[in-house]
Amino acid sequence: MAVTVLRPVIPDTVERIIVIGDLNGNDEAFTRLLAKIGYTKKDALFILGNLVEEGPDSLRTLRHVMELASKNPVYTVLGDRDIICKELLRNDRNDELLKYVLSRKSGLIYDMCLNSDITLKPDTNMFFVKQSLRVLYEREIAFVCAMPHIIETEHFLFAHAQVYPGKLEDMNPNEVIRADAFLDKGFSFDKHVFVGYWPVMLYNRYRRDANPYIVHKRRIVCMNGGISQKRDGQLNAVILHRNDPDIRKAQFVYEDALPKGKVLNSQPAGESAHSVDAPDNVVIPLRVVDDFTYCKQDKTDRNFWIPTSFLTEKDGVVYSDSITDYQIPVTFGDVVSVIAATSRGYLIKKDGITGWYYGMMDLSGTYSG
C-alpha cells in the first residue's frame, strides 16, 4: 500500500487553523475542548489521528468527527490505532481479533458490537461478526479507510507519527503511523510539521509536561498530550490565524476531563523533579506504608514513594503508572486538575504540568479550568 497525501484547498471562509492531537477515543475531552476554544464553522480543524481505541468512547468519538466533517472543513490523518477498523475488511485473523477485543473490553469494534447487541464470547465466530459489522457500519468503515496518511498545506505538514524530509509519497505507510521519539531522529523541515503518536511527556524525563512540545529551529510540533493513555493526559489544541501561520503567535489550549479543585494553601516549587514512565517503569517494591509503596526504579536505581494503586504486577515484574516526585508551585485560589487524592497529598496538574500538592484542597465546588 502506498502513502496517501491529501493537499486540500482550504475554503476562503476559514479564519482559524486549529490542530488537535490524538483523540484516543475520548469524546468527552474532545467535546469540552471544542467548547473551550469556541469552535465554529469558520475554523479548519486538523486532527492528528488515533480517533479511537484508548479511551471509553471510540464509536462516539468517530461519529462526532464524521458529523463535523460532513458540515465543516475537518481533516484527519490515519493513526496506528485507527487501522483496527480495516481489520473488519479482512477474512482472516479472526481468532486474533476476537482475543484482542475481549482482552480490552473497549475500543471501536467492541463499541460497535455493544451498540448492535452483538455479544462476544471466547467461542464467537468472528468471521460472521465481521460480516454483520461491515453492513451495519459501512459509513464509519468508509470514513476511516479514506483518511490520508499525510496532509500538506501551504504552511504545514500533518502526520500521525512522523514524516521524512523529501518526497512524501516515497515513505512507507507504517513509518508514517508508527515512530517512537520522532524528535530524536534529528530531522528539520522547511515548513512546520505537526505529529502525534509519541506522548509529549516522554521527551522530558524530569518534569512531567503534557503541553505541545515545540522545536522552533527544526519546525516540529509534537501534540499528543496522552489523553486516555496517561492518568495525567490531556487533549491539546494549537490555534493559528489563517493569515498568520507564525507558530510563536499561536494560542495553546488543552482539556483533560479531570475533576477540578481549588488550592487553599500556597507552596513553592520543589528543588528537584524526577519521573517514572514507560518504557522505564519497572520498579522494585521495598516497603509499604499506608497507601504508598517505597520503590526503586530498576533503570535508574532512584527511589520513589508511589501510590500503591499505581502499581501492577505481571509475570513477577512490578510496573508503575506514570508518576513524578515534583512538588509543583501553586498559589492560594488556583484551580487545578486532581489526578489522585492520597494520604500524603494530591497529585495535581496545573497549566499542563503534573506535580504533588501537600496543602488543603476545596473539592466541593464546580470549577472550570
**Is 33 found in the same domain as 173?**
yes
Three-state helix/strand/coil letters over the chain: CCCCEECCCCCCCCCEEEEECCCCCCHHHHHHHHHHHCCCCCEEEEECCCCCCCCCCHHHHHHHHHHHHHHCCEEECCCCCHHHHHHHHCCCCHHHHHHHHHHHCCCHHHHHHHHCCCCCCCCCCHHHHHHHHHHHCHHHHHHHHCCCCEEECCCEEEECCCCCCCCHHHCCHHHHHCCCCHHHHCCCCCCEEEECCCCHHHHCCCCEECCCEEEHHHCEEECCCECCCCCCCEEEEEEEECCECCHHHCEEEEECCCCEEEECCCECCCCCCCEECCCCCEEEEEEEECCEEEEEECCCCCEEEEEHHHEEEECCEEEECCEECCECCECCCCEEEEEEECCCCEEEEECCEEEEECCCEECCCCCCC
CA 215 to chain centre: 19
Query: Could you tell me if residue 188 is inside a domain?
Result: yes
* CATH number of the domain residue 233 falls in: 3.60.21.10
Q: Which of 209, 224, 255 is the last residue of a domain?
A: 255
Q: Which of 238, 255, 272 is the last residue of a domain?
A: 255
Query: Could you tell me if residue 104 is inside a domain?
Result: no
Q: Which of 186, 221, 255 is the last residue of a domain?
A: 255
Can you give the pTM of this predicted structure?
0.95
Each residue's pLDDT, cut to its tens digit, for the chain (369 residues) gives: 689 999 999 999 999 999 999 999 999 999 999 999 999 999 999 999 999 999 999 999 999 999 999 999 999 999 999 999 999 999 999 999 999 999 998 999 999 999 999 999 999 999 999 999 999 999 999 999 999 999 999 999 999 999 999 889 889 999 999 999 999 999 999 999 999 999 999 998 778 999 999 999 999 999 999 999 999 999 999 999 988 888 999 999 999 999 999 999 999 999 889 999 988 999 999 999 999 999 999 989 899 999 999 999 999 999 999 999 999 999 999 999 999 999 999 999 999 999 999 999 999 877 666
Query: Could you tell me if residue 369 is inside a domain?
Result: no
**Is 227 found in the same domain as 153?**
yes
The amino acid at residue 188 is: S
**Is 183 found in the same domain as 332?**
no
**Is 318 found in the same domain as 220?**
no
**Is 333 found in the same domain as 195?**
no
| Count: domains in the chain | 2
Query: Which residue range(s) make up the domain with 161?
Result: 5-79+147-255
**Is 307 found in the same domain as 200?**
no
- Per the CB < 8 A criterion, the answer to whether 194 and 223 are in contact is yes
Query: Could you tell me if residue 200 is inside a domain?
Result: yes
